[in-house]
Amino acid sequence: MSKLGNIGARLYRGEVGYDFIGKRMIWYGVSILITITAIVGLSVRGLNMGIEFSGGAVFTTPKTSVTTEEARHRAESAAGGHQATAQKLGGGALRIQISGLDTKQALPVQEELAKELNVPAKDVNTQLVGPSWGQQIADKAWLGLGIFMVLVVLYLAIAFEWRMALAALIALVHDLTITVGVYALVGFEVTPGTVIGLLTILGYSLYDTVVVFDSLKEASKDITKQSRFTYGEIANRSINGTLVRSINTTVVALLPVAGLLFVGGGVLGAGMLNDISLALFVGLAAGAYSSIFIATPLVADFKGREPQMQALARRVLAKRAASEAKEAGEDGQPATAPADDDSEDAAVVGPRQQPTSRSRGRGGPSGKRR
């Protein structure tokens, strides 16, 4: 842990770092490939909408020895081919969902299902969900998502600037597309729990992005008054400075969600935990990725098109070229500029160093001759 802390401190001070901005085209390509895969999976397989959205009936049976797979086949047979899902509840009971059933069809299916599972028909509890209610849930979810996006863009545009707001919006769409695509590929049922998970991951995704943006905003103050770093280089230093923090917060958030997904959903067979935990797990991972590899590089690209930033980049490159030429012409003399980045920054904005020749024959800070 101390070693990780030392690495984080060195990243924060800029002593070490990875060139995220310089290799941004690689990350753009990876994100485009993953997004295309998600869209293709969504188009080909589609979403497995739960009865809360499509309408249908939910049958809760008493304790039975029938397995979930057998119950699913028997439920589909009893419902005349309607799609059914089954899951185990506490005490050996079963929860069976059959989509597309109306009120007239539910009672015969209840009786047939009780006969198939060898349980009394009066002990099978039936709940009907109309498609209009599911449509209301979908409409409210879309409305909530739209309001959230608008508020996010307005806040980021006011707190930072519109380029950061646009980059954050693209990152959010990226995270949502990947999460929905994974849902389509895996085939998990989309329930209200899924909607809750999707809305939750938007906040987590924005958290990491705002942390990097805040660091970048502080580091880029009065950037045009210096000629040491370009905007892209300062953005890269901001990513490296917050990298360990982003990794730590993401891992801490993913661990309990992984417990919900693999233990609660996989071992215990809790369907609602599957719905919400898969959305959270995929969304958290995608959000941490997009805040580092997508959002901040996009801001660097947007800002790099500004005339002021382009002029700054030319000054920085010209100064470096002049420095290299001067070092090459000093007949092997070492460079007088200190190697530490922070010292170089101070040399740019602070008082110039006095020539070496003026200090000859002087013994101390007061300048008195020996």
Determine the pLDDT at residue 266.
Answer: 52
Q: Which SS3 state, helix, strand or coil, does residue 48 take?
A: strand
Q: Which of the four pLDDT bands, split at 50, 70 and 90, describes residue 299?
A: very high
Q: Which SS3 state, helix, strand or coil, does residue 16 take?
A: coil
Determine the pLDDT at residue 369.
Answer: 44
Of the ranges 2-16, 31-45, 63-77, which one carries the lowest mean pLDDT score? 2-16
By percentage, how much of the chain surpasses pLDDT 70?
79
Determine the pLDDT at residue 167.
Answer: 92
Q: Which SS3 state, helix, strand or coil, does residue 15 take?
A: coil
Backbone phi, psi, residue 260, to 5°: -60, -40
Residue 8 · residue 245 · CB < 8 Å: yes
Cα-only R_g, the chain: 30
Q: Which SS3 state, helix, strand or coil, does residue 274 take?
A: helix
Determine the pLDDT at residue 339.
Answer: 43
Which ranges in the chain belong to alpha helices (H)?
2-13, 24-44, 51-54, 68-78, 103-117, 131-159, 162-186, 192-219, 231-258, 271-290, 296-304, 307-328, 341-349
Rounded average pLDDT over 10-35: 81
Where in the chain are all domains bearing CATH 3.30.70.3400? Answer: 56-129
Q: Which SS3 state, helix, strand or coil, does residue 98 take?
A: strand
Tokens read off for 237 = 């230093």
Highest mean pLDDT: which of 237-251, 262-276, 284-298?
A: 284-298
Rounded average pLDDT over 123-137: 74
Determine the pLDDT at residue 351.
Answer: 38
pLDDT tens track for 326-364:
887 765 555 444 444 443 443 333 334 444 444 444 444
What kind of architecture, by CATH, is found in domain 20-48+133-308? Up-down Bundle (1.20)
Of the ranges 25-34, 43-52, 271-280, which one carries the lowest mean pLDDT score? 271-280
Determine the pLDDT at residue 32.
Answer: 94
Is pLDDT of 251 > 80? yes
Determine the pLDDT at residue 324.
Answer: 83
The amino acid occupying position 287 is G
Closest by CA position to 98, among listed 88, 106, 108, 89: 106
Where in the chain are all domains bearing CATH 1.20.1640.10? Answer: 20-48+133-308
Determine the pLDDT at residue 277.
Answer: 80
Give the N- to C-terminal CA distance of the chain in Å, as an integer. Answer: 52
Determine the pLDDT at residue 197.
Answer: 81
pLDDT tens track for 67-95:
778 888 877 777 777 777 777 776 678 78
CATH number at 56-129: 3.30.70.3400
Residues 6+ apart with CB under 8 A from 203: none
Is pLDDT of 272 > 70? no
Determine the pLDDT at residue 25.
Answer: 93
Highest mean pLDDT: which of 43-52, 255-264, 294-303?
A: 294-303
Determine the pLDDT at residue 302.
Answer: 93
Determine the pLDDT at residue 343.
Answer: 39
- Residue 140: alpha-carbon gap to chain centroid: 23
By percentage, how much of the chain surpasses pLDDT 90?
12
Is pLDDT of 192 > 50? yes
Rounded average pLDDT over 112-136: 76
